[in-house]
């Protein structure tokens, strides 16, 4: 994993985990990698991963079963979508709007581009 943008590392790890969940790489009933395993994989301080796991717990994405480890919560996909949506609206949308405004891109043009993108990338 590359940490390159300006966002705090623990948030970048949260996004990485959400991505794993949305892509279906982690299953609801399975134990997810421990804090230590994740820290080793990503080459980061375990305390940073712990902070990520605690954040995702407060967002009801992860469950901590004491003594066993971390699991995905039952409705984790919905929770991930909600978390990502809020973060997108707050952090990325203003930037996108700014460019739409500056470059005078209208919504109809955007819509057709969006539909082409969806067909090319997700409809197979």
Q: Say whether residue 6 binds another protein (CB under 8 A).
A: yes
Between 29 and 43, CB nearer to another protein: 43
Q: What stretch of H or E contains 96?
A: helix 93-102
Which of 28, 45, 64, 112 is in the footprint of another protein by CB under 8 A? 45
Question: What is the distance between the alpha carbons of residues 100 and 107, in angstroms, rounded to a whole number?
Answer: 9
For 77, residues 6+ apart whose C-beta sits below 8 A from its C-beta are: 21, 22
Which of 36, 85, 98, 111 is in the footprint of another protein by CB under 8 A? 36
Between 5 and 123, CB nearer to another protein: 5
State both tokens at 69.
């480890």
The contact set with another protein (CB under 8 A) reads 3, 5-9, 11-12, 36, 39-48, 51
């Amino acid at each position: 994993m590359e940490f390159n943008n300006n966002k705090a590392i623990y948030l970048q790890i949260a996004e990485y985990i959400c991505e794993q969940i949305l892509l279906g790489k982690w299953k609801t009933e399975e134990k997810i990698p421990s804090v230590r395993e994740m820290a080793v994989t990503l080459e980061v301080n375990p305390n940073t991963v712990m902070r990520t796991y605690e954040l995702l717990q407060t967002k009801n994405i992860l469950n901590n079963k004491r003594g066993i480890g971390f699991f995905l919560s039952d409705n984790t996909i919905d929770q991930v979508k909600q978390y990502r949506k809020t973060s997108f609206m707050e952090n990325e949308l203003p930037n996108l709007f700014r460019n739409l405004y500056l470059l005078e891109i209208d919504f109809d043009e955007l819509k057709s581009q969006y539909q082409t993108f969806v067909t090319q990338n997700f409809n197979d």
